[in-house]
Amino acid sequence: MSAREKVAANVANYVDERTGAASWMKKNLQKVFPDHWSFMLGEIALYSFLILLLSGTFLTFWFDPSMRHVVYEGSYQPLKDVEMSAAYASTLHISFDVRGGLLMRQIHHWAALIFMAAIVVHLLRVFFTGAFRKPREFNWILGIALLTLGIVEGFLGYSLPDDLLSGTGIRIAHAIIQSIPVVGTYLSFFAFGGAFPGEVFIPRIYIVHVLLLPGIFLALITVHLMLVWYQKHTQYPGPGRTEKNVVGYPLMPVYMAKAGGFFFIVFGITALLGAVASINPIWLYGPYTPGQISAGSQPDWYMGWLDGLVRMAPPIETYLFGYTVSWNILIPGLIIPGIIFTGMALYPFIESWMTGDKKEHHLLDRPRNVPNRTALGVMSLTFMLVALINGGNDIIATHFDLTINQIMWFSRIGIIVLPPLAFVITKRICLSLQRADRELVLHGKETGRLVMLPHGEFIEVHEELSAEKKYTLTQHQQPAAIALVKEDARGVLNPKGIRAKLQARFSAANAENIAKPTPDELKQLEGGHH
Amino acid sequence: MKFISKYRKHKLAAPLLLLFALTGLGLTFSVASATEAPKSVDAAARSTLIEEGQQIFLKGCSSCHGLNGEGAAIAPSLIGVGAASVDFQVATGRMPMQDMSQQAMRKAPVYNEEEVAALAAYVASLAPGPRAYTNEEIEWERDGNTAEGGELFRNNCAMCHNFAGQGGALTQGKYAPSVMGVEPKHIYEAMITGPQAMPVFSDKIITPEEKLSIIKWIKAAETEPNLGGAALGRVGPVTEGLLVWTLGLGLLIGIAVWLTAKAR
Amino acid sequence: MSSELEPLADPGLPEHIHRKADTDPIAAKRAERQVAVLFSLSAFGTVLFLFSFFFVDEDQFIFVPIMGSTNAHQLGIGIGMAMSLLFIGFGAVHWAKTLMPDQEVIAYRHEMRSEDSDRQDFVKAAKAGAETAGLGRRPLIKRSLAAAAGLAGLPAIILLRDLGPLPGNSLNETNWKTGTRLVTDPGDRPIKASDLEVGGVAQVMPALAAGKKRTLEDIAKDAVLLIRLRPAEFQLDAERLSWTHEGIIAFSKICSHMGCAVALYEQTTKHLLCPCHQSTFDVTRAAKVIFGPAARPLPQLAITVDSEGYLVAKQPFTEAVGPSFWERKS
């Protein structure tokens, strides 16, 4: 035993005698993770969260979350002697009088945008491959919670510097709170310590932004990861991959090196963006005052869809029995987002009810093999995209020579018409792809080589697929629709009534598939084909 | 290298160059047609200037604005708009309009400086209005205050022209143009005349000194180097979001694909 | 569920193909060197960072294509930091890909649910626990505990009471009183009707009492936009027309939708646009909403002139300014 080994052994012995870690480590160092690029998306989110913690901590050393009035004396000349809040002045101080401060601010903001984008693409991967199915429903809900909190956390961070843009954002948040029926006025007075903007809101959201929400994030992310660890990762179907196993690389050393390396890469890319691209140049916006505004005031992208919905809302407000209800704010600002996020959280249960599928799933779906779900996903995405586009309608209008009125009307109509259209088209595409798969399995790949048969007919040579490829294309289950039981054998009406009917309807839609090749079909073709 | 970059970074460089070229062209013309009397302020010269302006007006403007500048269905009356309006509209190339679009765009001017002056003299002769200015009169560097100008800009201009003067959308396809690279006198004239959709900012509401401060702030914004990297158009979070989804996530996903691809 | 016959049997994991570096020592050596180069590039990045941090002036600018004139200090430390991080990552990944074992291994899953015997034991233990605590037998304890626990949450909510004052009537009030002078913002100069040309606008605030300072809360309610039209252009009823003065009309600048400053005035169309959500108001018709999500016109401030000829408020706003709220009287 070399000296170095001896030291290592001593340390390991010391720790194990006090924690018994060896037996746990023995198992888990060999933990297997399947390798696929789409499995790295959640990791991007995780790593950007760590980057946010690191860069955010750096910023707290100088940021002064106070709305007390100060006169700016720092080195940015165009704002010299301007009256502003201490929050804004200290953000300017970080940007111009702390070396590396601007870089860290930009890294923090870019990391936040990447964090949210990574959460969204991770969510899309999980959705379209059906990774949320039993036993992973809890983790799906945790993910939705993280997404929701991420939007709130991001918005609070955007609001902290107290520049003209972030103040405008707070103004709109204030209006949303105030629009809540019955308690809205009181809630807004409590949140803002009186009339808008007051002097307490930024200190309050600061503590939520740097302590409360990050704490909740840490807890939720820990549970999220522990569940992934405990339930083992899902994997894409393929030869040798079954519901009972997981094929991949061991944690030590391959996955550790790759995942650890990827952390540095994500941090590096964020730093690169922070170095070369300006983000939120607060010194240009100027300090916030409620009487000023800039053209093209937008939220960050993850709130853009919400702003887009608010923009396209019809001008409806009711005044009944002496009370005012602003539907033009409530519907796009609270009700629709509420429905969207609740629906997302409940989706695993809704799907399992629709299909009657109560089995565990560890093999992922190819999106085309579940046309209904895929179409539903694209439909929701279309809805969000139309809303997001409308959220930037003024910028789009000036850059593409359109009018805001055109884009607004396009969005108002599009948000109703386009999602169902997207559903139908996506489902069609999925079924066509299934048909193509079936053709591939039965008749092989087209090679483009033409051969003349002895009697003069030309045929194209088809190359048979490998057994592995054929297996991958045919391994999926094609569940049959749930038969509607109107009455049981004794003539008793189904007590579920309309619910059973609905379920049968949905499950029939779900079961709409192109039948995959049967063993008989395959056998028949064998030998007789080129 | 620093020397060159100092010039190149200047956003004014291109417009200034253009202006220089045009002035040169104008001078050449005036030298070539040297039969005219040299510029003087006496009445005779003024009236020839007005006459010359009228000739240009009849050829280039009257089809829309009427033979006497009285306006018509498609173009407003020019009686009382003053020389300032003419100088702003014509010298920035907005007039004559080439097509009947939502609003006149800034483009290379059709008339040279002499012709603009003649046109301005003619329109000013129709009825009194705000006079035209020269860049030398607009002493923004001496009399302006950047910080004060910033506050005035945010209060009076940013809602249409955006926080950094990059312009923004108005209703029905109209837009507030970018104020970057505009000559000081034209900014000044725009404020006192309210061209097209822009309202008038009277001297009692925003004093001439305050206007100089606004110009000084605009010029500071124009020459402000990129302190934090590529400026992304200075239009706010939309381009930032676009960059994060394309370059940011694009790079990261690309790397993830490389990372999980089997080595050969 | 269909119990179908699978068309094909699982062919099993494909055979492992060795990499060059597994079989060829030269290739392995090359990969090793590549990893080392990547790690060295990271070290170079750190040096670049240190150099830029200490030796590049903070107001030094360099010209970079596409980016334009850029702060050299910021760019140097940023690129340095990015390199030092990126190349550690690239090195580690390249190492894992080329030199660490790339044979895929199989681990087996177990079903999530516990063994039946474990489940039964759990139910037994839980029942026994509840039994010994006597929860089932002593409903009084159960109910009083529930009530107490429920009530105990109340202080937590009550404690938040002093987060802010009650709204009272404050949302309905502004600093505009009968006779309050309109002053320019910024500048605080009183305005005469003749100061404003036709087609002109002015951002105004109520004049301050001597020694008082204007707070942001004041601005959030008091900001007013003054617009001058030709009197003939108005299409107002008699009352609203009497609120104007010589073609000058005054509106609250705080959007009736969500409170942004509405001040994009188009002189040609006489429309006011809110940049936040694009509500469009027609000035000639008392700021009637003609486009966008706002449901109410902007409140109009009645104005007149005082004995010295300065513009003053004829009366306070007759309705609450800013976004709607539950108690608002429409």
Cβ-defined contact of B201 to C275 (cutoff 8 Å)? no
CA distance C312 to C76: 57
What confidence tens digit (pLDDT) does each residue in B167-182 have?
888 888 888 999 999 9
Does B5 score more than 70 pLDDT? no
| Nearest-angstrom CA–CA distance, C330 and C320 | 9
Of A121, A261, A296, the CB nearest to B235: A296
Minimum CA–CA partner of B224 in chain C: C69
Interface test with C, best of B205, B209, B214, B251 (most C CBs within 10 A): B205
A323–C289: do the CB atoms touch at under 8 Å? no
Q: Which pLDDT does position C93 carry in this prediction?
A: 95
CB distance A402 to B169 below 8 Å = no
Buried residues in C39-52 as b, exposed as e (16+ CB within 10 A) = bebbeebbebbeeb
Backbone dihedral angles phi then psi of residue C64, each to the nearest 5 degrees: -120, 130
Q: Is the pLDDT of residue B233 over 80?
A: yes
C24: left (phi over 0), alpha (psi -120 to 50) or beta: beta
**Domain closes at, from A289, A320, A336:** A289
- Cβ-contact A298, A304 below 8 angstroms: yes
| Chain C contact probe: residue of B3, B100, B159 with most C CBs at under 10 A | B159
The Cα A351–Cα A328 span in angstroms is 32
In DSSP notation, A226-258 reads HHHHHH---B--BTTB-TTEEEEEEIIIIIHHH
- CA nearest neighbour of A247 among A460, C94, A239: A239
Q: CA A295 to CA A462: how far, in whole Å?
A: 60
Hey, what are C66's tokens? Answer: 């596409």
Interface of B with C in 209-238 (CB under 8 A): 210, 225-231
Read out DSSP for C162-211? GGS---TTGGG--S--TTPBEEETTT--B-BGGGS-TTBEEEEEEPPPTT
Average pLDDT score over residue span A237-263 = 91
Q: How many CA atoms lie within 13 A of B13 on its CB side?
A: 10
Out of B241, B259, B260, the one facing A113 most closely (by C-beta) is B241
pLDDT at C52: 95
Q: How far apart are CA A44 and CA A266, in angstroms?
A: 7
What is the arithmetic mean of pLDDT over A342-366? Answer: 94
Percent composition of chain C: helix, strand, coil (DSSP 3-state, to 5):
40, 20, 45
Chain A partners within 8 Å of B261 (Cβ) = 37
Q: Give me the residue from C187, C261, C271 closest to B171, CB to CB.
A: C271
If 0-12 CB within 10 Å is exposed, 13-18 middle and 19+ buried, where does residue A500 land? middle
Could you state, in order of their start, the residue ranges of all structural domains in chain B? 18-132
Name the one residue in this structure whose structure tokens are 């509401």: B205
Alpha helices in A392-403 (DSSP H): 393-400
Specify the CATH number for C173-313; select among 3.30.420.40, 3.90.45.10, 2.102.10.10, 3.20.20.70: 2.102.10.10
* Burial of C250 from C-beta contacts in 10 A (0-12 / 13-18 / 19+): buried
Are both A246 and A378 inside the same structural domain? no
* The CATH number fitting domain B18-132, selected from 1.10.760.10, 3.30.200.20, 1.25.10.10, 3.10.50.40: 1.10.760.10
Residue C108: beta bridge partners?
A245
Helix axes A371-391, A101-128, angle to 10 degrees: 150
Q: Which of A197, A253, A326 sits opposite C100 (nearest CB)?
A: A253
Spatial separation of the C-alpha atoms in residues C130 and C45, rounded to whole Å: 63
Tell me, yes or no, whether A270 and A406 share the same domain: no
- Chain C nearest-CA distance from B53, in A, is 27
What does the pLDDT read at residue C136?
Answer: 75
Integer Cα distance of B24 and B22 in angstroms: 5
Does B166 score more than 60 pLDDT? yes
The length of chain B, given as a count of residues: 264
Mean pLDDT computed over A138-142: 97
Structure tokens at C79: 């690129």
Using DSSP's 3-state secondary structure scheme, residue B57 falls into helix
Closest residue in chain C to residue A230, using alpha carbons only: C112
Residue of C nearest to A467 (CA): C11
Q: Please state which of the ranges A329-343, B223-237, C71-85 shows the lowest mean pLDDT.
A: B223-237
Instruction: Mark yes or no for CB contact B240/A279 under 8 Å.
Output: yes
**Selected residue of A31, A71, A103, A283 to mutate for chain C interface (largest C Cβ count, 10 A):** A103
- Over residues A212-242, the pLDDT tens digits come to 999 999 999 999 999 999 999 999 999 999 9
Question: Is A277 touching B (CB cutoff 8 A)?
Answer: yes
Opening angle at CA C265, ends C262 and C270, nearest 5: 125
Cβ pair B256, C91 in contact under 8 A: no
Half-sphere exposure of C317 (CA within 13 A, CB side): 26
Euclidean distance between the first and the last CA atom of chain C, given in angstroms as a whole number: 59
Question: A3: how many CB neighbours lie within 10 A of its CB?
Answer: 7
User: Is C2 in contact with A191 (Cβ distance < 8 A)?
Assistant: no
Confidence of residue B21 (pLDDT cuts 50, 70, 90): low
Asked if A418 and A530 sit in the same domain, the reply is yes
The pLDDT assigned to A489 comes to 72
Mean pLDDT of A280-286: 93
Longest dimension (CA), chain C: 101
Q: Indicate whether A121 pLDDT > 90.
A: yes
Q: Report the SS3 class of residue B168.
A: strand
Using alpha carbons, select from C276, C281, C250, C273 the residue that is nearest to residue A175. Answer: C276
Cross-chain residue pair B5–C185, CB shorter than 8 Å: no
Please list, residue by residue across B95-123, b when 16 or more beta carbons sit within 10 angstroms of its beta carbon and e when fewer do: bbbeeeebbbeeeebebbbbbbbbbbbbb
CB contact under 8 A, A165 and B161: no
Residue contacts between B and C (CB atoms, under 8 Å): 130
Please state the domain count of chain A: 2
* Cα torsion through C234, C239, C245, C247, rounded to 10: 0
C13 in Cβ contact with C103 (< 8 Å) = no
What pLDDT score does B4 carry? 43
Residue span of the structural domain in which A419 resides: 366-478+513-530
CA-derived radius of gyration, chain C: 37
Residue A343 resides in a domain: no
- Domain ends where: A289, A318, A344? A289
Averaged over A458-468, what is the pLDDT? 84
C62-107 confidence digits (pLDDT tens): 988 888 888 999 999 999 999 999 999 999 999 999 999 888 889 9
The widest CA-to-CA distance across chain B, in whole angstroms, is 89
The model's pTM is: 0.91
The residue among A39 and C186 whose pLDDT is bigger is A39
pLDDT of residue A73: 93
| Residues pairing with C250 in the sheet | C226, C301
Which residue ranges make up each domain of chain C?
Answer: 20-98, 173-313
Supply the pLDDT for residue B41.
55
> Does the beta carbon of B160 lie under 8 angstroms from any beta carbon of chain C?
yes
Mean pLDDT of chain A: 92
DSSP secondary structure letters along B78-109 = -TT-HHHHHHHHHHTT-SS-SS--SSPPP-S-
Rounded CA separation A182/A445 (Å)? 66
Give the position of tokens 């502004």.
C174
For residue A229, what are the CA distances in angstroms to A393, C52, C64, C96?
43, 42, 46, 21
- Interface probe with A: pick from C252, C265, C276, C329, most Cβ of A within 10 Å: C276
Which pLDDT value is given to residue A526?
A: 65
Pairing, β B175-176 against β A445-452: unpaired
Give dist(CA B92, CA B100) in Å, integer.
17
Strand partners, C265: C272
Average pLDDT, chain B: 82
Q: Does residue C267 or residue A527 have the better pLDDT?
A: C267
Two tokens, residue C115? 């063994």
Contacts of A among chains (3+ CB pairs under 8 A): B, C
Specify whether the CB–CB gap between B110 and B96 falls below 8 A: yes
User: Which of A289, A322, A339 finishes a domain?
Assistant: A289
What are A4-20's pLDDT values in tens digits? 999 999 999 999 999 98
The residues pairing with C71 across neighbouring beta strands, listed in sequence order, are C61
Low-confidence ranges of chain C (pLDDT < 50): 1-4
Burial class (CB in 10 A: 0-12, 13-18, 19+), A210: buried
Would A108 be classed as within a structural domain? yes
With respect to residue A330, please indicate whether it lies within any of the assigned structural domains. Answer: no
Give the contacts of A156 (CB within 8 A, at least 6 positions apart): A205, A208, A209, A213
- For residue C176 the two structure tokens come to 């505009």
Looking at beta carbons, which residues of chain A come within 8 Å of C272? Answer: none
| Per-residue model confidence as pLDDT tens digits over A86-120 | 999 999 999 999 999 999 999 999 999 999 999 99
- Residue B13 pLDDT greater than 60, yes or no: no
Task: Determine the pLDDT at residue B32.
Answer: 44
pLDDT band at B126 (very low <50, low <70, confident <90, very high): confident
Is the Cβ–Cβ distance between C223 and A197 less than 8 Å? no
Is the CB of A257 inside 8 Å of chain B's CB atoms?
A: no
Task: Give the mean pLDDT of A297-323.
Answer: 93
